[in-house]
Amino acid sequence: MVEALKAHGIAEADARRQCWFVDSKGLVVASRTDLISHKRPFSHDHAGATTLLQAVESIKPNMLIGVSGIPGTFDETVVRAMGKLNQHPVIFALSNPTSKGECNAEQAYGWTDGRAVFASGSPFPDFDLEGRIFKPGQGNNAYIFPGVGLGLISSGAQRVTDEMFFVAGIAPIRTFPLVASIRICNASARYQPPSPKPWPKSYSIGDSPPCCVRKIWVNACKRSCMIHPTSTTFDRLWSLSTKCSRVA
C-alpha cells in the first residue's frame, strides 16, 4: 500500500500515515514494546486500542482490509461503525477459504444498508437486499501469481522484487476480469509504466525477452502452458528461456 501511494506522488512518510495495522495484540502503535522489527516502521504515535472496534472508532478509517485468516473479525459492530463513519465504507474481507473470511457479502451489505464497497478473497453469489441485487467483487491473488510465475520462468529472472508485484497488480486490464479468463489475461496483459520513471522498456508479463527470435512461438507455448498445463510444455518453455538474456 505504501509503495502504491508513493507511485502516485505521495511522500513515504505521508503514505505510512495513511496505513494503520491491527494485529493479535491490538492497534500497532509506537508505545508498544512487543512489536517485532517488520512492524515498527508502520507503528504510529497514537493511543493504543486492544480491539478492532476501538481502533475503528479512534482512527476513523475509510477502508478495512482483512488478511488475518480469522473468521468473523469484521463483526456487526465493526461493520456498522464503518457505515456510520463513511457513506460508502470499503470492506475487503480477503482471507481464504470462505470459512476464514472476516465477513461475508451478505453481512457487509446488510449491516451497511447496501452502502459497502465489498470484495472478498473467495467468490460469493449475488445478494438480494430488498430487491437490489449486489454482485460481490473478488480480490484474489489468482489474478497476480500465475502471470508473475510465468513471467519469471520465461525471462529467467534471478530475483523477485516488490516492484514486480506492484506492476503485476495494476497490469491486468485495470479491472478484475472474469475468473474463467484469468489465464488468458495473464498471458496477454501488458503494462506501460507511467512517465517520468525511466524504465528501459515496457515490460510484458508473459512476454519473452527481446533477444529471443522465436517470440511468436514462445507466446503460443506460454498460452498452451497456462490453459493446458503439462510437464512437456513447461520443459520446452524453460529450455527456450535459458537461451535468452536473463533479467536481473
Q: pTM for this one?
A: 0.69
Q: Are residues 174 and 102 both part of a single domain? A: no
Burial (CB count within 10 angstroms: exposed 0-12, middle 13-18, buried 19+), residue 155: buried
How many other C-beta atoms lie within 10 A of the C-beta of residue 109?
22
Q: Please say if the pLDDT value at position 222 is more than 90.
A: no
**CATH number for 68:** 3.40.50.720
Question: Burial level of 224, CB count in 10 A (0-12/13-18/19+)?
Answer: middle
Determine what percent of the chain is predicted with pLDDT higher than 90.
48
Residue 31 lies in a domain: yes
Domain that holds residue 163: 142-241
Grid cell, residue 86, equals 463513511
Same domain, 153 and 129: no
Q: Which amino acid is located at 111 in the chain?
A: W
Last residue of a domain, one of 139, 160, 182: 139
Residue 246 lies in a domain: no
> Cell match 512517465: residue?
195
Partnered with residue 226 across adjacent β-strands are none
Per the CB < 8 A criterion, the answer to whether 63 and 49 are in contact is no
Q: Name the grid cell of 61.
A: 478509517
Task: Examine the fold and report which residue of 75, 110, 139 is the final residue of a domain before the chain moves on.
Answer: 139
Q: Does 190 map to a domain?
A: yes
Helices and strands, counts by H and E, the chain: 10, 8
Phi and psi of 22, rounded to 5°? -125, 125
Exposure of 184 by Cβ count < 10 A (0-12 exposed, 13-18 middle, 19+ buried)? middle
The maximal CA–CA distance of the chain, rounded, in angstroms, is 60
The pLDDT score that the predictor gives to residue 232 is: 53
- Are residues 45 and 93 located together in one domain of the fold? no
Strands 117-120 and 90-93: parallel
**96-118 average pLDDT score:** 95
> Per-residue confidence at 60, pLDDT binned at 50, 70, 90?
very high
CA distance from start to end of the chain: 24
Three-class SS of residue 28? coil
- Is residue 79 located within the same domain as residue 113? yes
pLDDT tier at 191 (50, 70, 90 boundaries)?
Answer: very low
**Number of folded domains in the chain?**
3
